[in-house]
Structure 1
């Protein structure tokens, strides 16, 4: 199986896998570049000597320093929590396209306020800017996966939503290395630490400009009754004429899903809330989406993202080597995310990735924690790393290489695809807010955890990763290759670990019946429609 081969739910014309679908996903994923950059740069920037000197960190006790740093980092996540919820009304009334534009504007305003911070004004502008920027990225984290999933053919949906995660890692890569660059090439000054804050405006600017030129989600247009515009947009994205059998099938599936959801949930802004509170099936799926991000954040990845200097200090790595190790961490994450995007997500599937990532990540964290407990390198510093220290570094990067192509992006893919049309926006709001809630708690208390628990932090996260294996195996069905309009049926099949095979068998039978009926009725132009290519 080639790296770009796709596994299809039905015969698909090759035109469907065209450059337009990738370009739309890439532009929308500028929102995730904003998120990834912040998660990487902020923890290192506030550790720069220029930042510490400007705000007189040296005059404060260690407890106050930890509190201020935690506030600077975590206010962003607090804003993102509310931004993820705010995205529901924005996406419902404005659509996915203009919802992304609003998110970019809010983020840009917040980033601009941060640039007004200096020693004379204090940190008040920084705090306000962090909250506003968080609201912007929280909204973007809701809308971007929805937008991409609603454009995607099932066979490459994981790959396309994965571009969102790739944007996150590219932003993170820049964020990890920028502080190394300014610390090596700029003198200790206001300019040294303000430049990393100013770079935030680049991805937000790309999003604001790019969104003007992208197309609205056809599924949102169908849901709003703008049928002709929806069909024209769908044909443009697929590069197929309106009467092509593939387009006819897709429109039929969308219409059927909307009719079913209108009957069971109902159209309108408030009906999804009623369904969430009264329909056990909906509540169960919302719970699954919420918990996926609990397990993701309890892997320890965001403790490393936001406080990588603290993490490497605990392993006895200081000075410029600390910054270089953080930069390599960003490189590893980006490289393995490419592998996840191109090959793993749409071939191995979601369940295998999550279970395998939890196993590899947990083993690595147990080993790192054991090394720190035995050697205590932070308090027994040496001029160079010994063999045990090198082993700990190797397992740190093994943890990175197993977690990044599994738990980092896969929960976003699952939450973007496992809900029905009328519930999708609200469900993504719940899932995104869950991510930012746990993200906030981790970023807010990580300094205190390292101060009080030491090596126990690694054992804590390793234990939670073991528990996540059982959660995924018993509760999360495989969604690879299943059309969005068939997710409700997938989640009704038990047991969970066999549901994927059953649903694909049903879809193949229905596809054969539909095409047979189309040929008999001769509804297209009187010619058989067998000329479909089954691989991209």
Structure 2
């Protein structure tokens, strides 16, 4: 479900690229107006859907409404009348969450330092992969390497298709391969494709002022390779991993910081890319490639595997990590032994 969010983003980008490609064919130079106006369609769908969307049972309980109303909504969602056990769990969770005060003060405590670092580092690294260079400015980028306007827009459609398909692949394999493995695979894949693209552009654009048709298509293939690497690693995992590491008492603060940092750097990249492209030219790929090296090393050294780890067990994962245990403290061996004994007795 978390990766589904990134799927939605990918489908939206693909739809926008298809609209841009179609409206570019309109004669008279006013196709861009149609393209911009089409943004009203999803906005209208969202607005109408919000009117029809029912309240969630959890929201009804938290706002102090009648629990019977929450039960009725839950029965509609589940398609069965046997929902009392789940309703009781929701009521219990709601009472616990109301007892939690000042989550933003809690998250800066020493014992939550790993979660705070991840809440800021993961969305930051997600943006400095350079993916928004592709998704926001793909047609401009492809025009820069020598493709015509129509071909540039079609190339953006191709990268959108690759990104969306790769995100679905991530859904299928993330629980088999693990988060860290996908991070490593995606990082290496993005780095190699960026370095090769940068090398081709530095050599060819410097000598000829443009790329030949063969080199243009090679760059397109490499950019698709890069997009695929992002789409099954940092794209979806940038949302999935943060959702798996925050305990209940800091969950709202941690998720808020993650989203805020992500949008902040999305804005910064969007505002600075054109100037960077003009000044750095092919060097922009080496710039973002350097960040990919840093972020891949960060994951390898500092991010523990979260696959199949319940949220309530994550504190032990940090305490057993070679680096974070110096900050949050090591696992108490007596407590660990006692917990193991209790588990064995329960079995």
Matches within 5 A, 1:138-153: none
TM-score of the superposed pair, with normalisation by structure 2: 0.82
Which stretches in structure 2 are left out of the alignment for 5+ residues? Answer: 325-337
Residues 350-380 of structure 1: CA distance to partner in whole angstroms, max 9, x if unpaired? 2221121111100110000000111117953
Give the corresponding residue for 1:348.
Answer: 177
Matches within 5 A, 1:55-454: 160-189=1-30, 192-211=31-50, 212-216=52-56, 218=58, 228=67, 237=77, 241-242=82-83, 247=86, 251=89, 255=92, 259=96, 266-268=99-101, 271-277=102-108, 279-341=109-171, 343-376=172-205, 380-381=209-210, 384-386=212-214, 388-454=215-281
Structure 1 runs of 4+ aligned residues shifted over 6 Å read 506-514
Residues 73-122 of structure 1: CA distance to partner in whole angstroms, max 9, x if unpaired? xxxxxxxxxxxxxxxxxxxxxxxxxxxxxxxxxxxxxxxxxxxxxxxxxx
User: Does the CA contact (< 8 Å) of 2:129 and 2:288 recur in 1?
Assistant: yes
Query: In structure 2, do the counterparts of structure 1 residues 208 and 390 end up closer, same or farther at CA, with 3 Å as the change threshold?
Result: closer
User: Does the CA contact (< 8 Å) of 1:477 and 1:496 recur in 2?
Assistant: no
- The alpha carbon displacement at 1:172 in A equals 0.5
Residues 393-438 of structure 1: CA distance to partner in whole angstroms, max 9, x if unpaired? 2211111111111111211112233222342222222111101111
TM-score of the superposed pair, with normalisation by structure 1: 0.55
- The alpha carbon displacement at 1:196 in A equals 1.8
CA–CA distance in 1 between the matches of 2:242 and 2:74?
Answer: 23
User: CA-atom RMSD, angstroms?
Assistant: 3.5
- Determine which structure has the larger helix proportion and give its number: 2
User: Does the CA contact (< 8 Å) of 1:314 and 1:378 recur in 2?
Assistant: no
CA–CA distance in 2 between the matches of 1:492 and 1:407?
Answer: 25
User: Does the CA contact (< 8 Å) of 1:258 and 1:422 recur in 2?
Assistant: no
Aligned residue for 2:107, secondary structure, equals helix
Aligned residue for 1:479, secondary structure, equals coil
Partner of residue 298 from structure 2, selected from 471, 475, 480: 471
CA–CA distance in 1 between the matches of 2:148 and 2:18?
Answer: 16
User: Does the CA contact (< 8 Å) of 2:140 and 2:152 recur in 1?
Assistant: no
- The alpha carbon displacement at 1:392 in A equals 2.5
Which stretches in structure 1 are left out of the alignment for 5+ residues? Answer: 1-159, 498-505, 517-536
Query: In structure 2, do the counterparts of structure 1 residues 335 and 440 end up closer, same or farther at CA, with 3 Å as the change threshold?
Result: same
User: Does the CA contact (< 8 Å) of 1:257 and 1:421 recur in 2?
Assistant: no
CA–CA distance in 2 between the matches of 1:359 and 1:472?
Answer: 12
Query: In structure 2, do the counterparts of structure 1 residues 510 and 338 end up closer, same or farther at CA, with 3 Å as the change threshold?
Result: farther
- The alpha carbon displacement at 1:281 in A equals 2.7
Query: In structure 2, do the counterparts of structure 1 residues 207 and 319 end up closer, same or farther at CA, with 3 Å as the change threshold?
Result: closer
Residues 139-182 of structure 1: CA distance to partner in whole angstroms, max 9, x if unpaired? xxxxxxxxxxxxxxxxxxxxx11111111111110111111101
Give the number of aligned pairs. 333
User: Does the CA contact (< 8 Å) of 1:314 and 1:377 recur in 2?
Assistant: no
CA–CA distance in 2 between the matches of 1:242 and 1:357?
Answer: 41
The farther-off stretch of 172-181 and 310-319 is 310-319
User: Does the CA contact (< 8 Å) of 2:114 and 2:318 recur in 1?
Assistant: no
